[in-house]
Structure 1
């Protein structure tokens, strides 16, 4: 049978593996930062009705510019945004890929601060963009001075600040974003996939006026509990949106995706009603694990990065044996754990308590 090594892959793809976390039918799946709460039944009914109406027209191509959805997203984000400042695609990964297709490519660079979202270097490879990973401080918190210095040194074509950062949960402070924008002349993306879970910091959408190179990426996968629909979006200057229209595939958002997302935004209050409960479970889990002796890093997201595991791989397998999936991201001594429902959090706390080994020094 033919293997990858037998194929004429591009040089920068040789040796890479596809992105992916384990997908198993376990009772408690807390490894991919999903919102584990179900969508309210009345919202489901409205979405299904919208899908039924959309199906009647699927013999025709969908609205290529998806203006109704863009108007809904602009209204959700607020700050006097207009549809011409909004873009959307099949998940925020595709949005970011389109940004790299438009502004990256051969001879250009993408910079971010590691550890961070593991898709960034993969998207760079897929678009022949050189990846520059700059290590974060020991506490993972970026400073305005450190970020500005790195950007002045490397002068990347694109930089991404993930805030709250995945996999650490670390929030990104407003002064860091301002300093980053002023430090170089390239495209600055603030990836706000987990923004709704940060109760203390406003969205960087507020910073868009007067900053045409600033892009704010968002998703409906997390807070909206819409991971299976695959809808990511972005707010930016209208000229940036025009640039993305140059590289998107024709009719890239299906009529069904557009209908489902637009209907969900109509019910944004109900869809986001679980966010406060997720924050509460995150804090409950943090307190319990701290009490057990683990090091829990500050998080503004719907997950925690937890240190102190003597053998993270063994702990991962022990939890999996109890029907609980978390994420081992090869950060020494650490596991990443999504904050789930009250019942899921209780099961997780019980399972980690039963591991029976004292936490290692972090």
Structure 2
């Protein structure tokens, strides 16, 4: 039972599957559209933008890589200062640090307060030096959703704020759009993936939304055919099926509430979450032991042990929202745990 990678427990939109089948029978002998125009139009319509504000990517992880390659100088690029600084909060998605290291760019993490709020003294110490500031909304592993006025304070003095919306559809699919359309929108980039809310993790499809000049700069750096024909077709069809998404999100949120209530009844402290997962801790601190017990029963959740987080919990469990049957099995296993 896989509750550790925040995948959707349901099949993707039928319209996406049909579009993939149709594309597979038509023109796989030809290269895909290098600009992904049909997908860009579908993504733009979803967010109320124009297609030249959209850049498709091979999952949103490729978009994160393109941002660094486009806008950051590496430490060995020959310029002054040892490269452009990349920043993210801590704890959060660890890929930000990894991508910075791959591109040989300096990286700094800003430790959050123990309640997952921002320490503004720490933020100000790095914001003026940051070229890219990666912030997931909602955050992972906590599920924290910071309000727009908080996010606006994170915009670097001379750089870009990247609002990574991998889980945005479970809170508000328009998260970050007010900032993108606001007076500082030229320093905002939104990223989205179809791996989570659309159930298309196996397809690898995502995109960036930003001002046209930012998108144009990134387009110069991407590979010619970075998204294949099947992904473009399936992704566009999924984005157009708003009714399917709305119903799926409602189902996930209802099960998230049931999971939260069940964990709370077992004595866990559960963080409020805007994602398709919850982060929880138990007063006895036996998170690693519970993780091992669940793994022995073939129930996979994510165990986090946090380093260099002076104000926060030392560890905890992140659990993906699954089907009702999976929630029942998980709660039954946790109820049987004996310290």
Asked whether the two chains share a fold, i.e. TM above 0.5, the reply is yes
Q: Please give the per-residue CA displacement for 1:47-95, whole angstroms capped at 9, x wherever unaligned.
A: 3443334xx32222111111111001101112xx100000111111100
TM-score where L is the length of structure 1: 0.84
Q: Please give the per-residue CA displacement for 1:120-173, whole angstroms capped at 9, x wherever unaligned.
A: 100111111111101000011237x45752444x52111011111011111121
Q: Please give the per-residue CA displacement for 1:240-295, whole angstroms capped at 9, x wherever unaligned.
A: 11111121111111111111111222323214422111111111111221221111
| Corresponding position of 1:176 | 150
| Corresponding position of 2:309 | none
Greater RCO, CA 8 A, separation 6+: 2
1:270–1:313 distance in 2 versus 1, CA, 3 Å: same
Structure 2 residues without counterparts, runs of 5 or longer: 75-82, 307-313
2:176 pairs with 1:204: yes
Which of 71, 81, 94 is the equivalent residue of 1:103? 71
- Correspondence 1:157-168 to 2 at 5 A: 157-168=131-142
1:150–1:171 distance in 2 versus 1, CA, 3 Å: farther
**RMSD, aligned CA:** 1.8
| Corresponding position of 1:287 | 261
The runs of at least 4 aligned residues of structure 1 exceeding 4 Å deviation read 145-148
- Correspondence 1:130-279 to 2 at 5 A: 130-142=106-118, 145=120, 149-152=124-127, 154-181=128-155, 184-198=157-171, 202-209=174-181, 210=183, 211-279=185-253
Secondary structure at the aligned position of 2:162 is classed as strand
TM-score where L is the length of structure 2: 0.89
| Corresponding position of 2:88 | 112
- 8 Å contact kept, 1:47–1:259: yes
- 8 Å contact kept, 1:151–1:184: no
Which of 329, 332, 336 is the equivalent residue of 1:347? 329
Which of 292, 312, 322 is the equivalent residue of 2:287? 312
Secondary structure at the aligned position of 2:303 is classed as coil
- 8 Å contact kept, 1:113–1:133: yes
2:273 pairs with 1:299: yes
Give the CA deviation at 1:340: 1.0
Which of 301, 325, 330 is the equivalent residue of 2:300? 325
| Corresponding position of 1:360 | none
Matches of 1:96 and 1:230, distance apart in 2: 14
Structure 1 residues without counterparts, runs of 5 or longer: 1-27, 358-362
1:147–1:339 distance in 2 versus 1, CA, 3 Å: farther
Secondary structure at the aligned position of 2:304 is classed as coil
- 8 Å contact kept, 1:141–1:171: no
Matches of 2:206 and 2:20, distance apart in 1: 20
Matches of 1:169 and 1:69, distance apart in 2: 28
- 8 Å contact kept, 1:223–1:272: no
